[in-house]
Structure 1
Amino acid sequence: MSFESYPPPFRNLLSHPAKIVDLGCGALDLDSDPIPVVDLQCLELGDCKLLEEPCKQWGLFRLVNHGVPESLLIQLQNLARTFFSLPFESKQALTTNPFSYFWGTPALTPTGDAGKLQNINLVEGLNVPLSQLPRFQTDDPILASFCHLLEEYGKHLARIGRTLFEGMSKNLSLDPSDSKSNLSESTGLVRVYRYPQWPTKSKNQNKSAWGMDVHTDSSVLSILNQDEVGGLEVLKDNHWCTVKPIPNTLVVNLGDMMQAISDDKYTSVKHRVKVNEYRERISVCYFVFPGEGSVIRSSNYKPFTYSDFQGQVQQDIKSIGYKVGLDRFKLRDV
Structure 2
Amino acid sequence: MAELLSESLGLPSDYLSNIECMKSEALACLYYPKCPEPAKTLGTPKHSDTTFLTLLMQDSTGGLQVLHDDHWIDVPPVHGALIANIGDLMQIISNDKFISVEHRVVAQPVGPRISVACFFSPSVRAAAKPFAPIKELLSDENPAIYREFMFREYYEHYKTKGDHVGSALLRFKIR
- Range into which the TM-score falls when normalised by the shorter chain: 0.7 to 0.9
Asked if 2 retains the 8 angstrom alpha-carbon contact of 1:316 and 1:324, the reply is no
Map 1:168-207 to 2 at 5 A.
168-174=5-11, 179=16, 180-185=18-23, 187-200=24-37, 207=40
Larger Rg: 1
- Give, in angstroms, the shift of residue 268 of structure 1: 0.4
Does residue 285 of the first structure (1) align with residue 117 of the second (2)? yes
2:131 maps to which of 278, 282, 296:
296
- Give, in angstroms, the shift of residue 308 of structure 1: 2.1
In structure 1, the partner of 2:139 is none
- Give, in angstroms, the shift of residue 322 of structure 1: 2.4
Asked if 1 retains the 8 angstrom alpha-carbon contact of 2:26 and 2:118, the reply is yes
Whichever residue aligns with residue 161 of structure 2, its letter is D
Cα separation, 2, equivalents of 1:213 and 1:241 = 14
- Give, in angstroms, the shift of residue 265 of structure 1: 1.6
Asked if 2 retains the 8 angstrom alpha-carbon contact of 1:182 and 1:296, the reply is no
What RMSD, in angstroms, separates the aligned Cα atoms of the two structures? 2.2
The structure carrying a bigger strand percent of its residues is 2
Cα separation, 2, equivalents of 1:232 and 1:300 = 30
Unaligned runs of 5+ in 2: 134-143
The structure carrying a bigger helix percent of its residues is 1
- Give, in angstroms, the shift of residue 259 of structure 1: 0.5
Asked if 2 retains the 8 angstrom alpha-carbon contact of 1:221 and 1:258, the reply is yes
> CA distance change for structure 1 residues 177 and 242 in 2, over 3 Å: closer, same or farther?
closer
With CA pairs under 8 Å and 6+ residues apart, which has the higher RCO, 1 or 2? 2
In structure 2, the partner of 1:238 is 70
Whichever residue aligns with residue 330 of structure 1, its letter is K
Unaligned runs of 5+ in 1: 1-163
Map 1:97-246 to 2 at 5 A.
164-174=1-11, 179=16, 180-185=18-23, 187-200=24-37, 207=40, 209-246=41-78
Could you give the per-residue CA deviations for residues 291-332 of structure 1, whole angstroms, max 9, x where no partner exists?
A: 2224222211111233321112222339xx423412111110
In structure 2, the partner of 1:266 is 98
Cα separation, 2, equivalents of 1:177 and 1:295 = 20
Cα separation, 1, equivalents of 2:152 and 2:11 = 22
> CA distance change for structure 1 residues 231 and 206 in 2, over 3 Å: closer, same or farther?
closer
Count of paired positions: 161
In structure 2, the partner of 1:10 is none
- Give, in angstroms, the shift of residue 184 of structure 1: 3.5
